Amino acid sequence: MKFLDHLEEWFIAFLMAAATLIIFVAVIHRYASGLPIPVVQDFLLRLNTSWAQELTIYLFVWMAKFGAAYGVRTGIHVGVDVLINRLNTPLKKKFILFGLLAGASFTGIIAALGADFVYELSGTSSTSEVLELPIWIVYLAIPLGSCLMCFRFLQVSWNFARGGELPVHDHAHVEGLVEDAAEGRQ
Amino acid sequence: MNALIIFALLIVLMLSGMPISIALGLTVLTFLFTMTDVPVQAVALKLFTGIEKFEIMAIPFFILAGNFLTHGGVARRMITFATSMVGHWHGGLALSGVMACALFAAVSGSSPATVVAIGSILLPAMIKQGYPKSFGAGVITTSGALGILIPPSIVMVMYSVSTNTSVGKLFVAGVIPGLLLAFFLGLTTWVLARRKDYPRMPRSTWLQRWQAFRESIWGLLLILVVMGGIYSGIFTPTEAAAMSAVYAFVIAVFVYRDLRLVQIGKVLLDSASMSAMLLYIITNAVLFSFLMTSEGIPQAMAGWIMDKGLGQISFLLVVNLLLLLAGNVMEPSSIVLIMAPILFPVAVALGVDPVHFGIIMVVNMEIGMCHPPVGLNLYVASGITKMGISELTVAVLPWLFTMLGFLLLITYVPQLSLWLPRLLFGG
């Protein structure tokens, strides 16, 4: 389990960094190849970076699907809790569980639909426009990501039902503030 | 009829407290399975193609850039600079609070983080100088919301994605209203401080100002990288966002040295999960607006409103009330993603400029962050000041009324939002 957690974290952080670097390099390349430096310009013009945009989109879509699953584990997906916060504790607990299970069933259904969709695509020879990757591999993000997300929802509801704490994400976390101020936020 | 069922289902699911993205998705699935014959297969495809746009990718990049600079060190530099500029007037520290919030919020892109960063440094200093706690809390809570109006703004990217309005124009359009709101908040602070005779700071010398400026300029240049890059056409908005992320990384690690290289992984992970959460809402909101469009709901609503003879003025008033109400229960991105596709066609049919309408929505979101009962900024401020929500509600009132007045001004004087983009982009 710990292994899966770390893999997930490394994977999405890596996708984020990779996408940023790719766009950065592509932009630098676009302007650098306009500079009239003899040998360098010839070399740069021979490089083709038209795939950068498409690759970035795919990296981010994968990051979005797996990052959403990570978010379930850290409690970043928030909802409207004005109403249920006014309920008494046992009733509120039931509503929270209902919400978590609704999340699990939605992502479960999407995983099934996505798997079916990808299975049909894998029979065709359609590819992405620039990179010419088989499209079903690209779309594999939907069933895989949704599956993981469904698992995370079930995991969180299981822990919560057995009396555990609900993960809560702190939207206002700031690094590098003085100690006493950080305590004040508790 | 169908419209009623869709909305009723969505509202019930949302009020049960489940994540907004899930509520949206389940509404769409329930409707598709029971009431129409749109192939469910189309749903799976939409889940992917919904975010398969290069423009949307500006969001993760802006979040990453903001997270690199969301650091106490950056906040301290902004405060020093602001204090050296405006500290010698009435209510000096409070005024620098407004200015520092505006600067930090623009760079970090997060309102709650701004309240925490600026608030936890500035509030103790204000109390030491003899300001009442509620005064400082009121200033910081409301000024912290300035960030989503001053570019680069993620909420504006959301609006542009759901209505196909140009991000560049929206960013430029936000500049004047952003500065104006900062000015009004500052004015309110100054008037109150003058009446109560709150302490002033010694005037700084120009040398001190120059030094403070040199310290903070590296962070502020981020805004210039984005705006200059988009305006001059060197970058597309998404490229500008990626460049600003790289720029923020260099500044945070090598110039300010606030971040050590080992901390980079954490920043990447936090930004990725924040972006993934927003992208997940976007995908499901795209599904939802796909359902709405295939049922012809926005068009029907536009027709109905035109039939009623509701003019621009009353429509915009209704929109403002609706958005302020929604601001009570949801965070800005979700509101924009759900409401913009519904309201936008009506606004356009009534002749409201798309860019102006975007600015109206953003100002509403700003007020929603700090008005009771559940503005996010209020909660965060209540955490750092240890004041109750009702106590804080009273504390923010003067600034809240200023913001509401400002909203009316922005709504009915479109030139405030449209003059600069027209000047720069023509049209």
- Out of B44, B60, B280, name the one closest to residue A60 (CB): B60
Question: Which of A128, A175, A180 would best serve as a mutation to test chain B binding (most B beta carbons within 10 A)?
Answer: A175
Of A35-49, A68-82, A144-158, B237-251, minimum mean pLDDT range: A35-49
Instruction: Please give the pLDDT value at position A185.
Output: 39
Q: Tell if the CB–CB gap between A84 and B17 is shorter than 8 Å.
A: yes
Which tens digit of pLDDT belongs to each residue from B10-58? 989 988 889 999 999 999 888 888 877 667 767 767 776 777 788 889 9
What pLDDT is recorded for position A145?
Answer: 92
Provide the pLDDT confidence category of residue A66 given band limits of 50, 70 and 90.
very high
Please tell me the predicted confidence (pLDDT) of residue B427. 61
* List of chain A residues whose C-beta atoms are within 8 Å of the C-beta of residue B52: 57, 61
Chain B residue with CA closest to A181: the answer is: B120
Instruction: Write the pLDDT tens digit of every residue in A110-129.
Output: 898 888 888 888 888 777 77
* Residue A134 pLDDT > 90: no
Residue B357 corresponds to which tokens in the numbers above?
A: 């309408």
Is the pLDDT at B298 greater than 90, yes or no? no
Chain B residue closest in CA terms to A101: B18
Residue B365 has pLDDT above 50, yes or no: yes
Task: For chain B, positions 353-392, list CB contacts with chain A under 8 A.
Answer: 373-374, 376, 380, 383-384, 386
Indicate yes or no: CB of B113 within 8 angstroms of CB of A174. Answer: yes
Residue of chain A whose alpha carbon sits nearest to that of B76: A177
Interface A-B, measured as beta-carbon pairs within 8 A, has a size of 225
Q: Mean per-residue pLDDT for B192-221? A: 90
- Of all residues in chain B, the percent with pLDDT exceeding 70 is 98
B241 in Cβ contact with B61 (< 8 Å):
yes
Q: What is the pLDDT of residue A63?
A: 93
Residue A178 with chain B: CB contacts under 8 Å? 72, 120-121
From chain B residues 138-177, the ones with a CB under 8 A of any chain A CB are: none
Read off the pLDDT of residues B83-135 as tens digits, 9 standing for 90 and up: 999 988 988 899 999 999 999 998 888 888 899 999 999 999 999 988 999 99
> What is the CB-side half-sphere exposure of residue B3 using CA atoms within 13 A?
10
Q: In this structure, what token pair is assigned to residue B163? A: 């209505």
Question: If we measure between CA atoms, which residue out of B51, B54, B57, B109 comes closest to residue B282?
Answer: B51
pLDDT over 70 (residue A84): yes
Cα dihedral B78, B80, B84, B85, rounded to 10, equals 10
Residue B98, pLDDT score: 94
Looking at residues B207-225, what average pLDDT do you find?
A: 90
Q: Summarize the confidence of residues B389-394 as an average pLDDT.
A: 86
Work out the minimum CA distance from B272 to partner chain A, whole angstroms. Answer: 6
Residue B73 contacts A where some CB pair is shorter than 8 Å: yes
Say if residue A180's pLDDT is above 60: no
Nearest-Cα distance to chain B for A172, in Å, is 4
Reference B104, options B145, B62, B64, B59; nearest CA is B145
A61 exposure class (CB count in 10 Å sphere: 0-12, 13-18, 19+): buried
Spatial distance between the Cα atoms of B330 and A113, rounded to a whole number of angstroms: 29
- Give the distance from residue A161's alpha carbon to the nearest chain B alpha carbon, in angstroms: 16
Residue A11 C-alpha, separation from nearest chain B C-alpha, in angstroms: 9
- State the pLDDT at residue A182: 43
Contact check, Cβ <8 Å, B376/A171: yes
pLDDT of residue B172: 92
What is the CB neighbour count within 10 angstroms for residue A124?
A: 10
SS (H, E, C) chain B: CHHHHHHHHHHHHHHCCCEHHHHHHHHHHHHHHHHCCCCCHHHHHHHHHCCCCCHHHHHHHHHHHHHHHCEHHHHHHHHHHHHHHHCCCCCHHHHHHHHHHHHHHHHHCCHHHHHHHHHHHHHHHHHHCCCCHHHHHHHHHHHHHHHHCCCCCHHHHHHHHHHCCCHHHHHHHHHHHHHHHHHHHHHHHHHHHHHHCCCCCCCCCHHHHHHHHHHHHHHHHHHHHHHHHHHHCCCCHHHHHHHHHHHHHHHHHHHCCCCCHHHHHHHHHHHHHHHHHHHHHHHHHHHHHHHHHHCCHHHHHHHHHHHHCCCHHHHHHHHHHHHHHHCCCCCHHHHHHHHHHHHHHHHHHCCCCHHHHHHHHHHHHHHHHHCCCCCHHHHHHHHHHCCCHHHHHHHHHHHHHHHHHHHHHHHHCCHHHHHHHHHHHCC
CA distance A127 to chain B (A): 15
Residues 109-128 of A with CB under 8 A from B: 109-110, 113-114, 116-117
- Contact (CB<8Å) A174/B18: no
A65 near B CB under 8 A? yes
pTM of the model: 0.91
Answer with the residue of higher pLDDT: A18 or A129: A18
CA distance B299 to B293: 8
- Out of A53-57, A61-65, A167-171, pick the least confident: A167-171
**Residue A43 clears pLDDT 80, i.e. is over it:** no
Residue B305 has pLDDT above 60, yes or no: yes
Model confidence at B288: pLDDT above 50: yes
Report whether pLDDT(B81) > 50: yes
For A147-165, give one letter per residue: b (16+ CB within 10 A) or e.
bbbbbbbbebbeebeeeee
Average pLDDT value for residue range A41-60:
82
Task: Using DSSP, state whether A128 is helix, strand or coil.
Answer: coil
- Average pLDDT, integer, range B199-216: 90
Q: What is the C-alpha separation between B295 and B290, in angstroms, rounded?
A: 9
Give the confidence band of A186 by pLDDT, cuts at 50, 70, 90. Answer: very low
Considering only CB atoms, B258 lies closest to which of A102, A176, A186, namely A176
pLDDT tens, residue by residue, B370-381: 877 677 888 888
Examine the pLDDT at B383 and tell me if it is beyond 90: no
Q: Rounded mean pLDDT of B366-370?
A: 88
A105 pLDDT exceeds 90? yes
Query: Can you give the pLDDT at residue B409?
Result: 95
Whether the Cβ atoms of residue B172 and residue B421 lie closer than 8 Å to each other: yes
Mean pLDDT of B347-369: 92
Partners of residue A126 in chain B, C-beta under 8 Å: none
